[in-house]
Amino acid sequence: MILRLSLPLILLLIIVPQSIQGSIFKTFSNTLSPKYPPYSFVFPLSGNVFPLGYYSVSLQIGNPPKDFTFDVDTGSDLTWVQCDAPCSGCTVRTELQYKPKSNTVPCSDSICSALHWPQKPECLNPKEQCDYEVEYADQGSSMGALVVDQFSLKLLDGSSFVPRLAFGCGYDQHFPSAHLPPATVGVLGLGKGKISILTQLVSARLTRNVFGHCLSSKGGGYLFFGDNVIPSTGVSWTTLVSPNNHHYTTGPAELLYNGKPTGLNGLKLIFDSGSTYTYFNRKTYQAIVNLIGNDLKGKPVKDVKDDKTLAICWKGAKPLKSVLEVKNLFKTLTINFKNGRTNSQLQIPPESYLIVSKTGNVCLGILNGSEAGLQDSNVIGDISMQGAMVIYDNEKQQLGWVSADCDKLPK
């Protein structure tokens, strides 16, 4: 899922089954030790919530290795890159695009079947390339072919691996004219499907089926694969629900405002790094807006209508430079997860749901998901995951978080 800068919902139409394992994985994994190594990979991130609206990672692909920047998306499976095959509608210069070298995946390969499941690949000749098409709700799309190439990945200790992984070579892109095209070259899909880069690394016995990210409010941060960097204490956990869904969904949970119940219960929440902002369904969103609005009465901020940065903005006595200047005027939101007899709480302080616009106003980074095409879903986006290590544990089917200094790479 990609929800950048309050764009309409973007949904991948590709769903990959958990049971299918491609021959690409088997070929590579046969060369490795049968024992599960405790390898962990850490990747620096660039970007911010505002004004960029995304966090990106640079990965090296090919021989010789070439850098490509990807939008990090935990809400989709397929990784793809703009591709000089040649390319129609690409948003980056030709020299920045990926150049295929007779390395397309044949239509007969089981990884192609996994990509297209529950449908079957449409190919008259089994030697034909495996095509893909990703369509978005905002009318954007990427079309191309599945390819295999080596990725240069460095471990924490400085050593490296160069596994051959499958990804999309997108040679026909379409971006809606109403929005600026992304500055990244592609999307890094980190969903649960077998086509995701992490799942391929797990199948090759290179890492555990655990990953996470730490997004800094100052910009940047890091992404990690494996569990070696996770603290042994202090992590709050909640169960992942809907295991067959490629989204990382949690719940049910209740919403607290300033530590007090709001009466909003039974919420299911998708944690999605592909979403810039946090989205709640219409009822929950309106309740939050009312609570904040009532709380701001008599305080030195007022509604401003001429700032279109986000749906709701407030103006102070003078232009603001930081959310911290008005943090004390707002209250903390808390997501209270009930895990059997125990509770775990995700605190969302004002600096994790507010931004300062270019004109110096403070704006609400919580949006109405029903208006963005999310129906009744709730999405925890980048803004509300800043300043914390967020952990997606596919082995134990749980999601965790702990406060962290995201400006320092783990060692």
**Residue in 272, 307, 382, 393 annotated catalytic:** 272
Homologous superfamily of 236-403 in CATH? Acid Proteases (2.40.70.10)
pLDDT band at 228 (very low <50, low <70, confident <90, very high): very high
Q: pTM of the entire structure? A: 0.90
Report pLDDT digits (tens) over 156-208.
778 889 999 999 999 998 876 656 777 899 999 999 888 899 999 998 899 99
CA pair distance 112, 119, nearest whole angstrom: 11
**Residue in 73, 77, 149, 382 annotated catalytic:** 73
Helix, strand, coil percentages (3-state) for the chain, rounded to 5, are: 10, 35, 50
pLDDT at 338: 86
CA pair distance 9, 377, nearest whole angstrom: 11
pLDDT at 35: 53
Q: For residue 385, what are its two tokens?
A: 């995951």
77 belongs to the catalytic site: no
Task: Over range 71-92, report the average pLDDT.
Answer: 91
Report pLDDT digits (tens) over 102-136.
899 999 998 898 787 777 777 788 889 999 887 75
For 75, the 3-state DSSP assignment is coil
Indicate left, alpha or beta for 204 from its phi (over 0: left) and psi (-120 to 50: alpha). Answer: alpha
For 203, the 3-state DSSP assignment is helix
Task: Over range 262-271, report the average pLDDT.
Answer: 95
109 belongs to the catalytic site: no
CA pair distance 335, 250, nearest whole angstrom: 11
22, pLDDT greater than 50: no
pLDDT at 127: 87
222, pLDDT greater than 70: yes
16, pLDDT greater than 50: no
For 41-225, CATH number?
Answer: 2.40.70.10
Q: For residue 380, what are its two tokens?
A: 């925890």
Q: Return mean pLDDT, the chain.
A: 87
Q: Which phi and psi angles does 382 have, rounded to 5°?
A: -55, -40
> Where in the sequence of the chain do the CATH 2.40.70.10 domains occur?
41-225, 236-403
Least confidently predicted of 66-70, 240-244, 250-254, 389-393: 240-244
CA pair distance 114, 330, nearest whole angstrom: 47
pLDDT band at 294 (very low <50, low <70, confident <90, very high): very high
Q: For residue 163, what are its two tokens?
A: 């596994």
Report pLDDT digits (tens) over 267-291.
999 999 989 999 999 999 999 999 9
pLDDT at 136: 56
393, pLDDT greater than 60: yes
Q: Which phi and psi angles does 192 have, rounded to 5°?
A: -85, -10
Report percent pLDDT > 90 for the chain.
67
